[in-house]
């Protein structure tokens, strides 16, 4: 993973980075605040040889003393020193238990012995440290070799008395919180990396192009669910997605042979990726540019075009294919917008109807009347309807939801179209944050978007009447 990929992983999964930091920081901070404070008092002894007149004797004595410093340090935690301390201070603990709170250290090459004592009480810690230091001086004199006069050859002197500390040695809240934040950051970055490595969703254009070898026709931002229920024509010219669909329209005009009718199936790998919304917005965009556009709802299983536009959907494509109505009787015209052929009744054999010669004849008929035809089809992976339609048109436009589609699903969907004899002319990345990040506002038009009255959306009430009779 490159640095750029790491930055993208953090941006995409920032909650996974932030959560461990917050949990560990707050948790460790709370535990540190609630923990009983422990104080540490320190004292120091200087151990020296008591005999020796020449420089050679003093040097040899110093080397001997330094060699014995670790042994003297061990004495500080032994009962020979601690039993008298417990008795002197009237402690309720045993010598062995007291040894756990005492540490004696010495630096290599020195004759200084440092003694540290920890205790919940700062004064008790200082008293124990001074008592241990005092008793240790006595024990060192007892165990050291004696001179010819019968005196101890080594003497330990207290050079630094312990005093009651003002601040606890632990818990160090500030240090613990900083350490917890760093640990949380490391865990969060690792979690973001793992999630990015196992996340097969296609969120950005470059990821889509790497997943499937088809042209990227456009990138569209997401809209609120409430905006999907309004009349699509309302926001074509000035809506949040207007400029993105203009780019998509321009790119789509480059697809196909010059002078040939532009006829496309619109589908997705799985349901819920916004294929119907994309289909209708694209159709309105081309109609606004002056093209004669037709939208056919060929999703005979779960039709959505008529409901999305508030149109009559009782009669439409199904009735045309079974011979119960003519195309001109059931097509609905939306003023300056596209014409709509609803799905009509739900048939028991949608796949067979779409593969029939009647459907092929209908496509030949509308190809002479319209500049562009967009056919809304079911998702590719659940059923084969979209594959059947794709081989009868110029190609299929694949709508990909940046928050839902997975790379294996896209690969299987494209392969299904190719194996079925069709081709995918391009993909549209829907609900992408990239579109919103790269967008900008040029000017601020103040005029209100034109509303499409019901009377303009449907050309004549007789259309619905005929549709009802044929249904």
Chain segment 156-198, per-residue pLDDT in tens:
899 999 999 998 888 888 899 999 999 999 999 888 888 877 7
Does the pLDDT value for residue 322 go beyond 90?
yes
pLDDT digits (tens, 9 = 90+) for 84-112: 999 999 999 999 999 999 999 988 878 89
Instruction: Read off the DSSP letter of residue 254.
Output: T
Of 334, 282, 288, nearest to 309 by C-alpha is 334
Select from 258, 308, 301 the least CA-distant residue to 283: 308
Domain 205-470 has CATH 3.40.50.300: yes
Question: Looking at residue 397, what is its pLDDT?
Answer: 96
What percentage of the chain exceeds 70 in pLDDT? 83
Helices assigned H by DSSP within 107-169: 122-143
Whether pLDDT at 21 is above 90? yes
Q: Comparing 442 with 257, which gets the higher pLDDT?
A: 257
Looking at residue 316, its pLDDT comes to: 93
What does the alpha-carbon distance between residue 335 and residue 455 come to, in Å, rounded to a whole number? 9
Flag whether the pTM goes above 0.95: no
Q: Given this model, what pLDDT does residue 131 score?
A: 95
Residue 62 banded pLDDT, cuts 50, 70, 90: low
**Residue 263 scores a pLDDT above 70:** yes
Average confidence (pLDDT) over 355-363:
95
CA-wise closest residue to 12 among 160, 204, 178: 204
Phi, psi of 59 (to 5 degrees): -65, -45
pLDDT given for residue 469 in this prediction: 36
Position 256 pLDDT exceeds 90:
no
Backbone angles phi, psi at 188, to 5 degrees: -65, -45
Long-range residue pairs from 76-79, CB within 8 A, at least 24 positions apart, any chain:
76/102, 76/104, 76/113, 76/115, 76/132, 76/136, 77/102, 77/103, 77/104
Dihedral in degrees, nearest 10, Cα atoms 80, 81, 84, 89? -150
What local confidence, expressed as pLDDT, does residue 12 receive?
A: 74
Greatest Cα pair distance in the chain? 134
Instruction: Report pLDDT digits (tens) over 427-440.
Output: 999 988 775 555 54
Question: Is 170:38 a contact under the CB 8 Å cutoff?
Answer: yes
Backbone angles phi, psi at 83, to 5 degrees: -60, -45
Strand partners, 429: 219, 400
Residue 65 confidence (pLDDT) above 90: no
The chain-wide mean pLDDT, for the chain, equals 83
**Residue 339: pLDDT above 60?**
yes
Report the pLDDT value the prediction gives residue 210, as an integer from 0 to 100. Answer: 84
- pLDDT score for 451: 36
Provide the pLDDT for residue 235: 47
- Mean pLDDT (whole number) for 290-305: 94
CATH of 39-160, one of 3.30.70.1130, 3.30.9.10, 3.40.640.10, 3.90.1150.10: 3.30.70.1130
- Partners of 134 in the β-ladder: none
Q: Output the pLDDT for position 44.
A: 95
Give me the mean pLDDT over the 349-362 stretch: 94
- Matching CATH topology for 39-160 and 205-470? no
Q: How confident is the model at residue 36 (pLDDT cuts 50, 70, 90)?
A: confident
147/343: higher pLDDT: 343
Domain locations along the chain: 3-35+172-198, 39-160, 205-470
Give the confidence band of 455 by pLDDT, cuts at 50, 70, 90. very low
* Pair 49, 75: CB distance under 8 Å: no
């Amino acid at each position: 993973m490159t640095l750029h990929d790491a930055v993208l992983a953090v941006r995409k999964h920032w909650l996974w980075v932030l959560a461990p930091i917050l949990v560990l920081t707050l948790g460790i901070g709370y535990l540190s605040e609630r923990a009983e404070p422990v104080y540490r008092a320190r004292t120091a002894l200087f151990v020296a040889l008591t005999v020796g007149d020449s420089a050679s004797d003093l040097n040899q004595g110093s080397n001997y003393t330094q060699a014995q410093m670790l042994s003297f340090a061990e004495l500080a935690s032994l009962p020979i020193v601690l039993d008298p301390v417990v008795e002197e201070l009237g402690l309720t603990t045993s010598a062995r238990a007291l040894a756990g709170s005492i540490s004696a250290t010495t630096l290599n090459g020195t004759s200084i012995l440092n003694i540290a004592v920890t205790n919940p009480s700062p004064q008790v810690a200082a008293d124990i440290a001074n008592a241990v230091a005092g008793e240790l001086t006595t024990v060192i004199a007892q165990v050291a070799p004696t001179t010819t006069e019968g005196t101890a050859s080594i003497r330990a002197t207290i050079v630094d008395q312990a005093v009651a500390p003002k601040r606890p040695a632990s818990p160090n809240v500030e240090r613990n919180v900083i350490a917890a934040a760093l640990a949380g950051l490391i865990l969060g970055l690792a979690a973001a990396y793992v999630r990015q490595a196992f996340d097969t969703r296609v969120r950005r254009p470059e990821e889509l192009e790497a997943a499937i070898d088809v042209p990227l026709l456009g990138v569209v931002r997401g809209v609120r669910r409430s905006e999907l229920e309004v009349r699509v024509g309302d926001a074509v010219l000035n809506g949040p997605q207007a400029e993105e669909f203009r780019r998509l329209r321009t790119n789509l005009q480059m697809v196909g042979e010059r002078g040939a009718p532009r006829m496309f199936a619109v589908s997705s790998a799985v349901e819920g990726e916004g294929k119907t919304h994309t289909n209708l917005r694209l159709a309105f965009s081309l109609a606004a540019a002056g093209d004669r556009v037709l939208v056919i709802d060929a999703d005979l299983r779960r039709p959505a075009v008529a409901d999305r536009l508030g149109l009559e959907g009782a009669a439409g494509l199904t009735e045309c294919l079974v011979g119960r109505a003519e195309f001109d009787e059931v097509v609905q015209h939306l003023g300056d917008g596209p014409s709509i052929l609803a799905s009509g009744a739900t048939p028991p054999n949608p796949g067979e109807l779409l593969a029939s010669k009647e459907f092929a004849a209908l496509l030949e008929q509308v190809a002479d009347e319209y500049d562009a035809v967009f056919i809304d089809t079911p998702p590719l992976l659940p059923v084969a309807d979209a594959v059947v339609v794709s081989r009868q048109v110029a190609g299929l436009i694949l709508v990909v939801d940046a928050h839902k589609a997975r790379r294996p699903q896209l690969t299987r969907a494209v392969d299904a179209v190719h194996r079925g004899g069709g081709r995918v002319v391009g993909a549209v990345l829907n609900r992408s944050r990239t579109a919103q990040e790269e967008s900008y506002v040029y000017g601020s038009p103040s005029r209100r978007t034109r509303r499409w009255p019901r009377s303009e959306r449907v050309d004549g009430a007789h259309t619905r009447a005929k549709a009802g009779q044929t249904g």
